[in-house]
């Protein structure tokens, strides 16, 4: 998650502005419905959908609304799955229809390992060019495992249309001052981290 979409923990973007309801747009429910239908029919999976948003051009991503990003992702995936063409979309739109950039290379998970509740773990300090469900602000940081969630398809593979092995996520608790030294109040931050993103911390 090293693209422009991974803004967690970053500063300088000002206050979040929430639009006042009701929304004037009538196309937003259609985008939501189309995406839900495609997911239910297994045209694409949720990680492919997320990665299509991540592949948007930075300027487009920052200026697009929430559902415009969804629309871009749905349209991109439908083109990539050969269900529509870009020409079809541009004919309907009456002009250019921006799509996300090309999909990159995915990866399979690391060799199986396990962690116990109460164990100290470190998030691997690695950079991945494709889809990854690891927030950048926890990379290389140490935390404590406080919970274990049921297995889920490994996103780095699933987001690229690969056969994705199932892998558990661990609820890892971090100290805020370990994540953002000298720029935050004392707090505890919990992040769901896939097994392959973690490594054991050797104790003396």
The class that CATH gives domain 120-200 is mainly beta
- The class level of CATH for 1-102 reads mainly alpha
Q: How far is CA 5 from CA 63, 66, 177, in A?
A: 12, 12, 23
Per domain, the residue ranges of the chain are 1-102, 120-200
- pLDDT 10s digits, 98-146: 999 999 889 999 998 999 999 999 999 998 889 999 998 999 999 999 9
| Distance between CA atoms of residues 122 and 124, nearest Å | 6
Query: Which pLDDT band, with edges at 50, 70 and 90, does 7 fall under?
Result: low
Other beta carbons within 10 Å of 75: 22
- Tell me the average pLDDT across 151-176: 96
Tell the residue number behind the tokens 């006042």, with chain if given.
20
Strand (E) or helix (H) holding 154: none
């Amino acid at each position: 998650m090293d693209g422009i979409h991974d803004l967690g923990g970053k500063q300088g973007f000002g206050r979040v502005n929430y639009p006042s309801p009701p929304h004037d747009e009538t196309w937003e429910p259609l985008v939501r419905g189309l995406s839900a239908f495609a997911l239910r029919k297994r045209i694409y999976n949720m990680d492919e959908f997320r990665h299509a948003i991540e592949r948007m051009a930075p300027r487009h991503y920052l200026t697009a609304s929430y559902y415009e990003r969804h629309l871009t992702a749905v349209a991109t995936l439908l083109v990539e799955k050969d269900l529509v063409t870009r020409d079809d979309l541009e004919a309907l739109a009456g002009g250019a229809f921006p799509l996300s950039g090309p999909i990159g290379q995915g990866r399979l998970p690391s060799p199986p390992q396990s962690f116990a509740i109460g164990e100290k773990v470190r998030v691997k300090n690695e950079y991945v060019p494709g889809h990854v469900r690891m927030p950048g602000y926890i990379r290389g940081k140490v935390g404590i495992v406080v919970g274990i969630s049921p297995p889920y398809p490994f996103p780095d593979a699933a987001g690229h249309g690969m056969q994705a092995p199932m892998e558990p996520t661990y609820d890892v608790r971090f100290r805020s001052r370990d994540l953002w030294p000298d720029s935050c109040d004392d707090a505890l931050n919990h992040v769901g981290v896939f097994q392959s993103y973690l490594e054991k911390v050797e104790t003396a």
